[in-house]
Amino acid sequence: MAALLNRRTVISGFILLALVFPFLTKNSYVLHILTLAFIWMIAVYGLNLLAGYTGYLSLAHAGFFAIGAYSLGILTVKVGMNYWLAFLSSLIITCILGLLIGLIALRTKEHFFAIYTLCVGYIIYLVIDKWDGLTGGVRGLIGIPVPAGFGPLSFEKPLSQYYLILFFLLLTVLMVYRIVHSLSGRTFIAIRNSEELAKTLGIATMKNKLMVFVLSTLFAGLAGVLYASFIRFIGPDIGYITITFDLLMYLLVGGIGTLAGPIVGTLLIVWVSQSLQFLQDYRMLIFGPLLTLLIIFYPRGIIGAFYEWKIKRQEKKRMRALIKNHKDAEFPTANSVPDKKVKEG
């Protein structure tokens, strides 16, 4: 019970901090970076569902992020659709494309799945880059509108955008939390554990994998849509492989297959890479070895390491209590005389 209360206070503390944060800093650049980090977090949660909980590492994630962003861009700028209608349509478009790609991609497994999705991601990037007529090619799309306001609410200012994106992030976390703690979540974990075993329990693995694949593209798409209307300019770069690996790095550092991992990893890496800005691309000389060490020693990231430490501590406590009880009760002390003498010979 104490642990639960503890966790609840920690979570509400963080939410509160996120809510008052804009009033603690007058620096608009910090707010901008934090808002961007929130967007990445939403995408990382999508990747976490698929790679972390179901065990299918998709490297097409940035592709779906770009599909979401470009759908919104094209629908608002070129078609002139109402903002929130375009918002919804973009998510639907991303999911439909996710479903079609998932249908084929999920016939492969493990490394092959990763390589296949890597190719798919690159093809998505190429299509965006080369299809001048639709996407504007390398010039990209300019002048994407900010989210339209509801009644008195408007999202013109960076501060209001910060809250809007925070709202979507919290919604994402809540959704993922509900999914992971439901039977569906356990079904995904069962598939990660052993697909054959899952099948012998009567789980329709293909259906479940497809569901989680589409869900993960939904979150990638949502992040893309928010990105497009936050930055208001998009180029083909947002669909490039490096974005996928950035997202993957956030997930690995924070803790793959954990609920808090995406938040911790994204915040940490974004913060560190901002503070090491003066090193330019040589930053990677620091990141590379650090990441390698992390994967070797803490394969489940920072959050995973934290849980391991907690379990070990509990176990130690339990053992100590056990030994203490035994000492009082039945362990013979040094002074006591053994009942029987050991027979020799």
The residues that touch other proteins, with contacts defined as CB under 8 A, are 183, 186-187, 189-190, 193-194, 196-197, 199-204
Nearer to other proteins, 24 or 201 (CB): 201
Note whether 301 and 254 are within 8 A (CB): yes
Closest approach of Cβ 259 to other proteins, in Å?
Answer: 14
Residue 151's φ and ψ, nearest 5 degrees, are 50, -120
Tell me how far apart the alpha carbons of residues 131 and 128 are, in angstroms, rounded to a whole number: 6
Nearer to other proteins, 104 or 197 (CB): 197
Interaxial angle between packed helices 183-193 and 205-231, expressed in degrees from 0 to 180 and rounded to the nearest 10 = 110
Per-residue DSSP letter, 147:
P
Nearer to other proteins, 82 or 194 (CB): 194
Closest approach of Cβ 258 to other proteins, in Å?
Answer: 12
Per-residue DSSP letter, 79:
S
Nearer to other proteins, 201 or 342 (CB): 201
Closest approach of Cβ 317 to other proteins, in Å?
Answer: 16
Closest approach of Cβ 241 to other proteins, in Å?
Answer: 31
Nearer to other proteins, 151 or 202 (CB): 202
Residue 40 falls in which region: left (phi positive, over 0), alpha (psi -120 to 50) or beta = alpha
Tell me how far apart the alpha carbons of residues 51 and 192 are, in angstroms, rounded to a whole number: 9
Nearer to other proteins, 80 or 202 (CB): 202
Closest approach of Cβ 172 to other proteins, in Å?
Answer: 24
Closest approach of Cβ 98 to other proteins, in Å?
Answer: 23
For 194-214, give the secondary structure using H, E and C. Answer: CHHHHHHCCCCHHHHHHHHHH
Residue 28 falls in which region: left (phi positive, over 0), alpha (psi -120 to 50) or beta = alpha
Residues 6+ apart with CB under 8 A from 294: 252, 253, 301
